[in-house]
Amino acid sequence: MIELGGIGPGPFAGMVLADLGAEVVRVDRPGRAGEPDAGGPADVLNRGKRSVVLDLKDPSATAALLQLVERADVLTEGFRPGVTERLGIGPHDCLARNPRLVYGRMTGWGQDGPLAAAAGHDITYIALTGALGAIGDPDGPPRIPLNLVGDFGGGGCYLVIGVLAALHAAARTGRGQVVDAAIVDGTAHLLASTFAKLARDEWTDERGVNRFDGGWPFYAVYETKDGRHVAVGALEGKFYRSLVRLLGLDVDPDRQHDRSTWPELRRSLAKRFAERTRDEWAALFEGTDACVAPVLTLTEAAAHPHLAARGSLFTRDGVVQPAAAPRFSATPSSPGRTAPAVGADTRAVFHDWGVPLPD
């Protein structure tokens, strides 16, 4: 796989595929070596890859890249529409050299449409899909869910899905194709269940009043005595009964879905959780079916016994990072080596792929 160097969801997709066993060669531009994410232990999104440097504005470098393309299964890029075409390495150029190639394109707005050529970021993409407007308190502004929903959920993950599906098709048909992975498309796709609930009148088109946005008092976050928080997800009746019992609340669990009781229920839950610290509540609910968990920081998460037992996060050279996911019974995945310095593998890659170095 050839990955034309970029930021965010494109490199994340390359990391996922490298974790799954792909040989990923990242093509970086000259001068990137001085940037803070240019190789080394903290450059997590580029772990497991090899790095070459090519100035794609130079015709000799472009010619060399096309020779690499002839030997590749996949090429991914994250430029605005038309950029690779102007460089002479667009889908038409590459598929002419290698008809089996899967050409993955990672953008925010997609390859066509009124906004295709416009700049954007995660926040603008998820704003337009309705996802951002659905997250937050009812009496406040929308809450930004990091850049997980757009860049990495709707973007990088869908590029991986598209590449793998296109590779499967190429193996059957001998023909490659272009994968147009747009963050707006992926984010809209992630909202499938929400749109379904909206159509069934199970969801109100406003934030903070619904089942999964904190609107229901038994699916919400509460502050504890020490100013920290616990997350409560006792949706089902049996889980709610367990929650009520362990908290010692004087409420009728059979009236869980009586909305007239919810304001008082929320006040009771808030008052009770404020009586103990987060970790005291975590100890009480550990292993129960009440669906209560402590809200941890990123640093705390790495030390949690469950994540530690599974190795969901690990530390390499002082850098906490996620392990490879998902897991397989017969073909284990594994996070690759620390990201190399920019251009560290240029000579080796061209040698191994049987392509002469450009002048």
Selected catalytic residue, list 121, 189, 229, 304: 121
> Which residues, including other chains, have CB under 8 Å from residue 60's CB and lie 6 or more apart?
358, 359
Gap between the Cα atoms of 218 and 225, Å rounded: 19
∠ CA 44-46-50, rounded to 5°: 140
Gap between the Cα atoms of 296 and 203, Å rounded: 29
Per this entry, what is the length of the chain? 359
User: Is 15 in contact with 22 (CB distance < 8 Å)?
Assistant: no
Task: Tell me whether residue 299 is exposed, middle or buried, using C-beta atoms within 10 angstroms of its C-beta: 0 to 12, 13 to 18, 19 or more.
Answer: exposed
Gap between the Cα atoms of 8 and 111, Å rounded: 18
Gap between the Cα atoms of 59 and 149, Å rounded: 38
Q: Hey, what are 74's tokens?
A: 């996949």
Q: Hey, what are 348's tokens?
A: 């080796």
The verdict on whether 189 is a catalytic residue reads: no
Gap between the Cα atoms of 92 and 103, Å rounded: 10
Inter-residue long-range contacts of 325-333, CB under 8 Å, 24+ positions, other chains counted: 325/19, 331/21, 333/19, 333/20, 333/21
The verdict on whether 213 is a catalytic residue reads: no
Strands 313-316 and 319-322, how do they pair?
Answer: antiparallel
Selected catalytic residue, list 73, 151, 180, 345: 151
Least Cα distance to 81 among 103, 59, 56 occurs for 103
CB atoms within 10 A of CB 194: 19
Q: Tell me which residues are annotated as active site.
A: 121, 151
